[in-house]
Structure formats: structure tokens, C-alpha cells
């Protein structure tokens, strides 16, 4: 029997934070002074934050202090792939940018981000009324010890996100959950608003070949890439397709080997959640394919990145075959 409650993790970014930012914030106003980045040479804008091109590191422990202050006192850059320094103008996926977006939204609306996001999306903000299934600790515990060895790691709570930063209060990048029915309602509202089309606009590129819009990433072609798989879906197919998979008794078949270098662009844009969910959108006809799935393996261990890609690939390939 499927588990009816899913921690959406980073899908909060395209479903909650980005739509709110696009609706309520000036995209190109320089926010350096407002956010405390007074020593920064380059402007700091909402457009950069949405497209992960502000030059921020991917991740830092949420300590409660202003981000500019935390960055100024330094961190062990290079000690972990998520503890690296970004370059302004170059996309580098960062939870920190969406933390700043939530901060700006709270300042400009005068409302707590959790209630603002729950009202706008229909999703449940943590702490949740029902606990999602337990998931083992991810790599954030290791990263936390590297970056803040003297600061206690946040305690687990079944009604708070698996992600340690979200447990500790980092708003904007995670912290929302859904049942299949509330996810469907949220996605219908999201599609009807027209916001996904505004998000799916080439804005910045990453050194790894990634291409970001204002909250969604372009799905590229190439072996083992979602854009290659989704390219088989004929144009003109529209509507919402929500694919739900609860606990799975075995591992999924291995996904095709992933080419190091991406191919050309596909018509789809997407976003992934650390805990297993995924979202794919084709602006030309409004086709939206969303996955609700858990990252826990049959033995109760956390799936690694490749096993998770195989699970998503299996779910998506079945739907692609059906749509063909």
C-alpha cells in the first residue's frame, strides 16, 4: 500500500518560492544593501537568485545568522562538493539563494514565509500534521560537521523535513509536503496561473552545461538524461500527469549510463527533490509530469543518487511509453 504523505524537499523551490517571488518581488532591483552584502562588488538580484547565478555556495549549515555574515566569516571551501564558492553570473545550484528569496518575501509582505507559502500553494508547511515515512540521514550530517564542527547538529523530528537545514529553519528551499490529492491540486493551480511559462526561460548557464530559467532547469538531451527520455513524448499532449509510487519492494533496473557531456536542449524543463519527487514541464503545450516517490530502498537504507535516478527513470519511462 502506498504511503500518502511525501516530503517535497526542493520542489518547494519551483512550487512555492519561485511563484511567490515572481508575483511579489522586483526581479532586477539590487538587493545588496537590503540583504547585508555590502562588501559584494556585483549587484545581487532576485533574477540571479531564481536562476542560481548569484555566485553563492550550494549549501551551508543554517545557523540563524545573516547569510552575508556567515559567508564573511568563512567556510571550508572544497571540503565537500557542496561546500564550494560560486561565481556571479554562472549557475551553481544553491539552497542559499532560495533562503534569501524567502527572507525578501517575508520583509516585503510582513508575513511568515510558511503561512504565505501554504496559502499560495495549498501545500502543507512544516511542522506537518502527519509524519512522512522515516528516511535515514542524508549527507547533510557529514557536511554540517565539516562546516560547523562546534555547532550541534539539529535533532530529528518526524514532523519536520529530513533535510537538516529545513529542520533548523532555512525557509525557501524546502519545508513543504503533500498527499497525492493536495499535490494534484497544487499543480493544477500552478499550471493555471501561467507562472511555469515565466519560469521556463533561458536565464543562466552553469559550468557543468546546465541551463537555468527562473526556478526551473532545462532538461538536456544525451544518453541517460531526462530530456532524451522525454523527447519521445509527441508534441501536443497536454494536461497534468501525476505518478505516485509509495514504498517499493525492490530496486529499479539500472538507468542508461549518463554521458558526462550533455547533448542539445529538449522541450522540457524540470526540478528534482532530494527525497525522491520530481517535476517536468513542457511550456509549448502545457504538459506537466510530476512524480511523488520516496528515496528509501527496500532494506530501509537511503538510495544513493544513481539508484534514485534509476527509480525516477523507471517511473518516467513507463509514462512516456503510455503517452507514445
Q: Is the peptide bond before 163 cis (omega within 30 degrees of 0)?
A: no
CB atoms within 10 A of CB 322: 9
Entry pTM = 0.96
193 and 284 in a single domain? The answer is: yes
234 and 127 in a single domain? The answer is: no
DSSP state of 50: H
CA–CA separation, 214 and 224 (whole Å): 25
291 neighbors 316 (Cβ within 8 angstroms): yes
pLDDT tens column, 188-233: 999 999 999 999 999 999 999 999 999 999 999 999 999 999 999 9
26 neighbors 46 (Cβ within 8 angstroms): yes
| Strand pairing report for 124-125 and 176-178 | antiparallel
Query: Residue 37 is part of which domain span?
Result: 8-175
CA–CA separation, 15 and 1 (whole Å): 27
- pLDDT < 70 stretches in the chain: 1-3
pLDDT tens column, 242-283: 999 988 889 999 999 998 888 899 999 999 999 999 999 999
**In-domain check, residue 3:** no
pLDDT value for 1: 38
27 and 125 in a single domain? The answer is: yes
Q: What angle do CA 51, 95, 74 make, to 5 degrees?
A: 110
CA atoms in the 13 A half-sphere facing the CB of 195: 24
41 and 132 in a single domain? The answer is: yes
pLDDT value for 137: 85
CA–CA separation, 117 and 111 (whole Å): 10
pLDDT value for 312: 98
Radius of gyration in angstroms for the set of CA atoms belonging to the chain, rounded to a whole number: 19
For residue 245, the SS3 value is: strand
CA–CA separation, 173 and 158 (whole Å): 19
19 and 156 in a single domain? The answer is: yes
Domain boundary among 175, 196, 229: 175
171 and 191 in a single domain? The answer is: no
**In-domain check, residue 1:** no
Domain boundary among 125, 158, 175: 175
90 and 43 in a single domain? The answer is: yes
Amino acid at each position: 500500500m502506498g504511503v500518502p504523505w511525501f516530503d517535497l524537499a526542493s520542489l518547494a523551490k519551483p512550487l512555492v518560492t519561485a511563484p511567490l517571488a515572481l508575483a511579489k518581488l522586483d526581479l532586477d532591483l539590487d538587493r545588496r544593501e537590503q540583504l547585508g552584502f555590502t562588501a559584494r562588488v556585483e549587484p545581487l538580484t532576485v533574477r540571479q537568485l531564481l536562476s542560481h547565478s548569484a555566485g553563492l555556495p550550494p549549501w551551508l549549515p543554517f545557523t540563524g545568522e545573516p547569510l552575508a555574515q556567515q559567508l564573511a566569516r568563512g567556510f571550508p571551501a572544497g571540503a565537500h562538493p557542496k561546500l564550494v564558492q560560486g561565481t556571479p553570473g554562472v549557475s551553481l545550484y544553491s539552497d542559499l539563494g532560495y533562503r534569501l528569496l524567502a527572507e525578501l518575501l517575508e520583509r516585503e509582505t510582513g508575513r511568515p514565509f510558511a503561512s504565505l507559502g501554504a496559502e499560495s500553494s495549498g501545500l502543507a508547511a512544516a511542522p506537518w500534521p502527519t509524519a512522512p515515512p522515516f528516511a535515514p540521514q542524508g549527507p547533510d550530517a557529514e557536511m554540517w560537521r565539516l562546516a560547523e564542527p562546534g555547532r550541534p547538529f539539529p535533532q530529528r523530528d518526524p514532523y519536520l523535513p529530513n533535510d537538516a537545514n529545513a529542520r533548523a529553519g532555512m525557509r525557501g528551499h524546502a519545508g513543504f509536503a503533500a498527499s497525492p490529492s493536495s499535490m494534484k491540486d497544487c499543480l493544477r493551480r500552478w499550471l493555471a496561473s501561467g507562472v511555469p511559462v515565466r519560469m521556463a526561460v533561458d536565464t543562466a548557464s552553469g559550468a557543468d552545461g546546465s541551463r537555468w530559467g527562473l526556478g526551473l532547469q532545462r532538461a538536456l538531451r544525451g544518453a541517460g538524461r531526462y530530456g532524451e527520455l522525454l523527447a519521445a513524448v509527441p508534441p501536443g499532449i497536454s494536461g497534468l500527469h501525476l505518478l505516485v509510487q509509495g514504498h517499493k519492494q525492490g530496486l529499479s533496473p539500472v538507468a542508461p549510463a549518463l554521458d558526462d557531456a550533455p547533448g542539445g536542449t529538449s522541450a522540457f524543463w524540470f526540478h528534482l527533490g532530494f527525497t525522491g519527487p520530481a517535476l517536468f514541464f513542457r511550456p509549448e503545450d502545457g504538459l506537466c509530469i510530476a512524480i511523488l516517490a520516496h528515496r528509501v530502498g527496500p532494506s530501509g537504507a537511503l538510495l544513493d543518487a544513481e539508484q534514485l535516478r534509476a527509480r525516477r527513470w523507471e517511473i518516467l519511462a513507463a509514462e512516456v511509453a503510455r503517452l507514445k
